[in-house]
Amino acid sequence: MTPGAPGGTALRITPAALLGSRRAVHMVERNVYVYRRSWIFLVSGFFEPFFYLLSIGIGMSSLVGPLRAGGEIVAYPVFVAPGLLASSAMNGALFDSTFNLFHKLKFAHTYDAVLSTPLTVADVAAGEMGWSLLRSGLYALSFMCAMSALGDVRTGWAALCYPEALLIAFAFSAVGMATTTYLRGWRDFEMVMLAIVPMFLFSATFYPLSVYPGWLQAIVRLTPLYQGVALLRGTDLGSFDWAMAGHAAYLAVLGLAGLVATRSRLTRLLLP
């Protein structure tokens, strides 16, 4: 038995329990309708990657010379672009899975109304995950278009960066939702930012991992964003090895674990 489960029933980990039913698409549909009236917040995310890459290409690339990545020397914008793509996927996923989810859960009580319909907790979790991936996917696509337009794509293998960016978004969205269910108030989001900002700065996005001390390298290698950065950079450069499979497996397992935790926590909170 799982403590806190409604009626004392066990929360069995099955595909239906994790992914919900076809009804989960209605949660995605709801978010689409909501953003029809606040589309500016959605569209604004398309401009961020372009400005990021433009500033790197025009500004910092003249100050930082070529760097070694994947066994070859590449221009600084080519080195940074996959890392920023991973960060864009992370940010796109976390916005909806943390701030928006918390507002719906604690203040708008959206899910109380949703659960009065045939939708289940699993449908809620899967639907919010689907919307988070949809939004993150739009941002990743715009980022890749900016990369291509600015000449920061190294090989044709870069096309595989898109599904890999969705894998990154899946991992962060699931962990973000699970973490949000433990937050007590808006002030707790300071702890969330305390985790996100260092990951963005130190996950080998802007500099090779070799510039860090040995102890910091070990810590960085354990972070999910580093796994995503290494995965996308290797794919963009066409530098494939077994480590790439390890990066993908890490993100997939993290996402599944986060989805299991989210489903369990939402059940405890919404069905006392």
pLDDT in tens, 113-138: 999 988 988 899 999 999 999 888 88
Does this model's pTM top 0.95? no
CA diameter of the chain: 64
Q: For residues 200 and 165, what is the distance between their CA atoms, to the nearest angstrom?
A: 15
Q: What is the pLDDT of residue 9?
A: 42
Burial of 102 (0-12, 13-18, 19+ CB in 10 A): buried
Q: What percent of the chain has pLDDT over 70?
A: 86
Partnered with residue 72 across adjacent β-strands are: 69
Q: Are 122 and 204 in contact (CB under 8 A)?
A: no
Classify burial at 132, counting beta carbons within 10 Å of its beta carbon; exposed 0-12, middle 13-18, buried 19 or more.
Answer: buried
For residue 19, what pLDDT is reported?
A: 54
DSSP secondary structure letter of residue 120: -
Confidence of residue 254 (pLDDT cuts 50, 70, 90): very high
Confidence tier at 42 by pLDDT (50, 70, 90): low
Dihedrals phi, psi of 74, to nearest 5 degrees: -130, 155
Q: pLDDT tens-digit profile of 162-181?
A: 999 999 999 999 999 999 99
Please count the other Cβ atoms lying within 10 Å of the Cβ belonging to residue 257.
14
Decide if pLDDT at 21 tops 70: no
Tokens standing for residue 74: 């590449």
**How far apart, in whole angstroms, are the C-alpha atoms of residue 253 and residue 68?**
30
Contact yes or no for 180/98 (Cβ under 8 A): yes
Residue with tokens 């600015």: 150
What percentage of the chain exceeds 90 in pLDDT?
34
